[in-house]
A and B are shown apart, each in its own frame.
Chain A
Amino acid sequence: MNPTQAVAALLRAQPDALFVASLGTATSALRSASDDGPHLYMGGSMGSALAVAMGVAEKRPERRVVAVLGDGESVMGAGSLWSLAGVRPANLLAVVLVDGHYTITGGQPLGVPAVFADVARTLGLAAGVAGTAADAQRLARELARPGVLEIRYDERTWPGPSPFVDAPVVRARFEAAAAP
């Protein structure tokens, strides 16, 4: 499984959800898998994407929301797992794409344990680990919310589209997609 296939599985599982993607691989993979759909792509703000998704989920409780996060992103913003467990949005799934490396900066190793589902369970969140696209699709549909889905993939291929998004364009397209 490569990151685009992982994100494609999420899109199949939750085609009507609002998606937020962290910078780098997650944004490139979501752009690739969704044909550059109107999602909220982060061009920067590393560590903030789960918090952004929590804000989206709070404003649109009637919509399902999926945060697509890198593993480096998720350890930088690890406190947001605690916030997810505290606020408990009933419509939010946090997905961590785990390859153990900081891809956007040149592939340096993560350097810390990639134990997102274990931490989530300890925090009282629903959690699962997927190693195949089929498992990712099933768990993205079945996991209770708020939940954390760790997707482990071994093909560290760059998805393709640029992660350097045009911020006002991203915002305007997402506003339209999120409007009631």
Chain B
Amino acid sequence: MTEVAATTWQAELARALADGGVEAAAWVPDKRLAPVAEALDALAVPVRTLTREEECVGWAAGFRAAGGTPLVLMQCSGLGNSLNAIGSLVVPYGLGFPLILSMRGALGERNPAQMTLGRTAVPMLELLGVQVFRLRRPGDAGMLARGALDVADGARQLAPIVLEPELDLAP
């Protein structure tokens, strides 16, 4: 993985989200997401650091209910912290927004503690009735961002963009 390649898809993702109308973002810091957050900040999209991923989901639900287009960034382990807010707020109230989900516990993982949430994150979302969109190739970042914004704004659904490990793994 080179720094230039990593910056490219992350910057493209941030650019497409900002161009598509994202006004503000919330996250709990994550190393892989940091370049996306930095790029958003450089594009004048404020990124709020909250204490827990469930809070980020609540914050975004409120921002959306007030008429805005928010964004949440989290690692897949944080999805485990967010299930009730998604299941009892985002889904029943129809408060859609894009969610950048950085995968751990997948191909290339070396930490045993990450594997369970890595294996179950997407199935949990699907059990909640949430359709996910997988980003594997760096060149697809802008397309997925635009498509996810359509799903969030138009179809009023939570629209997770799943950052698969292939994005950063050498072929």
Residues of chain A within 8 A of B52, CB atoms compared = 79
Q: Which of A18, A52, A174 contacts B58 (CB 8 A)?
A: A52
Chain B stretch 46-91: residues in CB contact (< 8 A) with chain A: 46, 48-52, 54-68, 70, 84-85, 87-89
Q: Which of A27-35, A81-89, A125-133 contacts B (4 or more CB under 8 A)?
A: A81-89
| A178 interfacial by beta-carbon distance below 8 Å | yes
Residues of chain A within 8 A of B84, CB atoms compared = 44-46, 48
CB of A47 to closest CB in B, whole Å:
7
Q: A47-B54, A51-B55, A58-B48 are in contact. Are A171 and B66 (CB under 8 A)?
A: no
Q: Does B51 lie within 8 Å of A45, measured CB to CB?
A: no
**CA–CA, A37 and B87, complex, Å:** 25
- Interface residues of chain A: helix, strand, loop or mixed (majority): helix
**CA–CA, A5 and B55, complex, Å:** 29
Q: Does A87 lie within 8 Å of B89, measured CB to CB?
A: no
**CA–CA, A48 and B89, complex, Å:** 9
Q: Which of B54, B62, B88, B89 contacts A54 (CB 8 A)?
A: B62
Q: Which of A40, A45, A50 contacts B85 (CB 8 A)?
A: A45
**CA–CA, A18 and B62, complex, Å:** 11
Q: A40-B62, A58-B48 are in contact. Are A171 and B55 (CB under 8 A)?
A: no
Q: A58-B48, A87-B48, A167-B93 are in contact. Are A175 and B67 (CB under 8 A)?
A: yes
Taken residue by residue from 15 to 33, chain A's Cβ proximity to chain B (1 for < 8 Å, 0 otherwise) reads as 0001010000000000000
Q: In the complex, how many residues of chain B place their beta carbon closer than 8 angstroms to a beta carbon of chain A?
A: 34
Residues of chain B within 8 A of A80, CB atoms compared = 50-51, 55, 58
Taken residue by residue from 50 to 83, chain A's Cβ proximity to chain B (1 for < 8 Å, 0 otherwise) reads as 1111111111100000000000000001011011
Closest residue of A by beta carbon distance from B50? A83
Q: A44-B89, A48-B89, A59-B23 are in contact. Are A175 and B65 (CB under 8 A)?
A: yes
Q: Does A56 lie within 8 Å of B62, measured CB to CB?
A: yes
**CA–CA, A167 and B138, complex, Å:** 38
| A43 interfacial by beta-carbon distance below 8 Å | yes
Q: A55-B58, A86-B49 are in contact. Are A178 and B94 (CB under 8 A)?
A: no
Q: Which of B49, B51, B62, B92 contacts A55 (CB 8 A)?
A: B62
Closest residue of B by beta carbon distance from A51? B58
Closest residue of A by beta carbon distance from B91? A167
* A-B contact sample (7 more), CB < 8 A, given A59-B63, A179-B67: A40-B65, A54-B58, A55-B59, A55-B62, A58-B63, A168-B94, A175-B65
| A-B pairs, 8 with minimum CB distance | A55-B62, A44-B88, A51-B58, A48-B58, A79-B51, A55-B63, A52-B62, A59-B66
Chain A residues in contact with chain B, CB under 8 A? 18, 20, 40, 42-60, 77, 79-80, 82-83, 86-87, 167-168, 170-171, 174-175, 178-180
Chain B residues in contact with chain A, CB under 8 A? 23-24, 26, 46, 48-52, 54-68, 70, 84-85, 87-89, 92-95
